[in-house]
Amino acid sequence: MSVRRSLSAIFLGCSIGLLAGCNTAPAPVLVRPASFTPLGLNAPYLYADVIGGRKSRATKMRSAKIRPMSGGAAPAYMAGLDTELRQQTAGIGLDVLRVGDSVVIRIPAELTFDSGSSAVKPQFDATLHEIARTVKTRSQTFVDVFAHTDTSGTPQGNQALSDKRAAAVATYLASHGVTRARIASKGLGETAPLYNPETSEQEKAANRRVEIRLVPYTG
């Protein structure tokens, strides 16, 4: 009987502990426009050649001792990368998108930068670190970093800010193990909005974004 009472006490204690755990508030998730994912998938820059040109970038890859994969191996390789990134980033407020033969990670700028700043937010460090970990191991890809702004401010100022933001993310990836020869960055300022015109603060927020495009490196 004493054993049964002991087991009952343990069970009750565990149940209370589980209920207490359930009351722990989850980390807030960014609320995005419902149409954030499908917008902008046909933008020309997403289908354009890699930043700086494939020939020049491939030369850097070869110098870094990175071998290209065969064209026939690319679809399965990119499908595996897509699956891994989706699992890693589920529920944290960003999107993993298939665009042609590439994979695009689309990150709302609220998760990475304060307004007017090009410094990566400390609270997003863990997520970028996870992205860097996967990108590092999938070395047979070119890594393009694009940054965008909304239309607040001047076009010249927005272009300069987006250049700095793209470079900041590229530097972060390189400092966390992604071979620098694989990476190029480019700011697009306000020239490639998801919403045009912007009719609300929510749409402006969606236009402010960073994209990491992973393109198969084939020989």
Residue 1 lies in a domain: no
**Angstrom distance (rounded) from CA 63 to CA 66:** 7
Residue 20 lies in a domain: no
Which residues make Cβ contacts (< 8 Å) with residue 40, sequence separation at least 6?
A: 46, 192, 194
How many domains does the structure of the chain reveal? 1
Q: What's the pLDDT tens digit per position in 40-94?
A: 888 999 999 999 999 999 999 999 999 999 999 999 999 999 999 999 888 888 8
Give whole-number Cα distances, 137 to 80, 168, 173, 201, in Å.
12, 21, 12, 37
Task: Please tell me whether the peptide bond between 197 and the residue prior to it is cis, using omega within 30 degrees of 0.
Answer: yes
Q: Which of 147, 176, 30, 140 is nearest to 95 (CA)?
A: 30
Alpha helices in 23-113 (DSSP H): 44-47, 54-63, 74-89
DSSP state at residue 139: -
| CA 131 to chain CA mean position, Å | 7
CATH number of the domain where residue 105 is located: 3.30.1330.60
Dig out the tokens for 146 from the structure.
């694009």
Dig out the tokens for 83 from the structure.
């699956």
Look at residue 10 and tell me whether its pLDDT is greater than 60: no
Q: What is the pTM of this model?
A: 0.83
Q: What's the pLDDT tens digit per position in 96-131?
A: 999 999 999 999 887 888 888 898 888 778 788 889
Calculate mean pLDDT across residues 161-178: 96
**Angstrom distance (rounded) from CA 85 to CA 130:** 9
Range of the domain at 66: 30-216
